[in-house]
Amino acid sequence: MVKVSFNSALSQKDVKKDAETLIPEEDKDVEAALPVHYQSRAWSWCMCLGLALMLSGMVVGGAYLYRYYVSENDHVFVCGVDYREEDFMIQEEDEVIVEDLPNQFHLRQLEETIRVLTTEEVELISVPVPNFEEGDPADIVHDFQRRLTAYLDLSLNKCYVIPLNTSIVMPPKDLLALLVNIKAGTYLPQSYLVHEEMMVTERLEHVDQLGYFIYNLCRGKETFKLQRRDRILGMQKREALNCHKIRHFENKFVVETLICEP
C-alpha cells in the first residue's frame, strides 16, 4: 500500500498566494492614492485664490489708471440756464448778435448734462424731458475733429446728422471754461433763445464712417442727413410738415433745433 500525504504548509502558502491575486490593484493603492488626491485639490484652491487676487489687482489698477489718465480730460457738468423766448434766427457759420432783451418775455429754464472731452475735441450733451409742453429729450454729439453734429431724438429713437455749425457750438476748451465759471458762480447766465430749422434730406446707411462717437450714438437706429432750411422771420409759409423740436445749449444762449420731415 502506498500512502500519499500532502504538505499542509505548502498548501496554505499557495492558498494565500491565490487569495492575494484576487485582490484588485485599486484596493491595494487606495492609501497611496489619497495623498495625491488631496494634493491636487489643494493645488486647485491655490490656483483659484491666485486668479482671484490677480483679477482684483487688475480691477484696482484699471480704476486707478482710468481716474489718472481719463478723468483729467473728461469733465461732466449738470447745469441749467434761464432764458427768454424770442425769435432770433441763426445763419450758418454767422455770428449771432443780439441787443439788450426787453423784460416782458417770460423766463424759462433748461437743464442738461454736458460731458466735455478736450483731447478728443468732442462734446456730449444729454437733454432730459423738458419741463415745458413742446420739445423732445435728446442726446447730442458735437465732434470737432469730424466737423459733425448728431442728434438722437429719444422720443422717436431716430438719429440726425448735420455738419457742425461753429457759430452756435463753442469749441470744447471754451465751453469747458464757461461751464467752470458757471459752476464757480462767477458767471450766472440769463440768456435768450434762438431758432434753427432743419430738413431731413436722405437716409444714411453707413453710420460707422461718421466716427466713433456718432457711431456709438446712432448705431442700430434709423439715421438721416439734415440740411438747414433758410427762413425769413415773418415771411415764411407754414407748410404741413412733421416737425419735432429739441432745445439745448452749448454756448451763452439756448438753441431750439426744429427737425422737419417732408
Which of 30-34, 66-70, 139-143, 244-248 is the least confident region? Answer: 66-70
Q: What is the pLDDT of residues 70-89, one digit of tens each?
A: 344 578 998 888 888 765 55
Which of 99-113, 140-154, 156-170, 222-236 is the least confident region? Answer: 99-113
pTM of the model: 0.66
Give me the sign of the Cα torsion angle 205, 208, 210, 215. Answer: positive
Rounded percentage of the chain residues whose pLDDT exceeds 90: 40
**CA angle 246–249–252, rounded 5-degree value:** 145
In this predicted structure, the answer to whether residue 60 has a pLDDT above a threshold of 80 is no
Residue 1 pLDDT: 44
Other beta carbons within 10 angstroms of residue 177's beta carbon come to 14
Q: What is the pLDDT of residues 168-186, one digit of tens each?
A: 999 999 999 999 988 887 6
Q: Which of 8, 253, 247, 11 shows the shortest CA–CA distance to 130?
A: 247
